[in-house]
Amino acid sequence: MPHKAIIFVLNGPNLNLLGTREPEIYGRDTLDDIARRLDDQAQTLGVEIDFRQSNHEGHLIDWLHEAQAVGAKAVLLNAAGFTHSSIAIHDAIKAISVPVVEVHLSEPKTREAFRHISYVGMAAKLCFAGHGAKSYELALDAAARF
The yes-or-no answer on residue 119 being catalytic is no
Given a cut of 90, is residue 21 above it in pLDDT?
no
- Give 109's Cβ-side CA count (13 Å radius): 5
Q: In terms of Cα–Cα distance, which of 110, 117, 25, 111 is closest to 79?
A: 117
Given a cut of 60, is residue 58 above it in pLDDT?
yes
Give me the residue spans of the domains in the chain. Answer: 5-144
What are 77-134's pLDDT values in tens digits? Answer: 999 999 999 999 999 999 999 999 999 998 777 777 777 789 999 999 999 999 999 9
The DSSP bridge pattern shows strands 74-78 and 100-104 to be: parallel
Catalytic-role residue among 26, 90, 119, 136: 26
The yes-or-no answer on residue 136 being catalytic is no
Assign domain 5-144 to its CATH superfamily.
Answer: Dehydroquinase, class II (3.40.50.9100)
| C-alpha 129 chain-centroid distance | 11
CA distance 44 to 39: 9
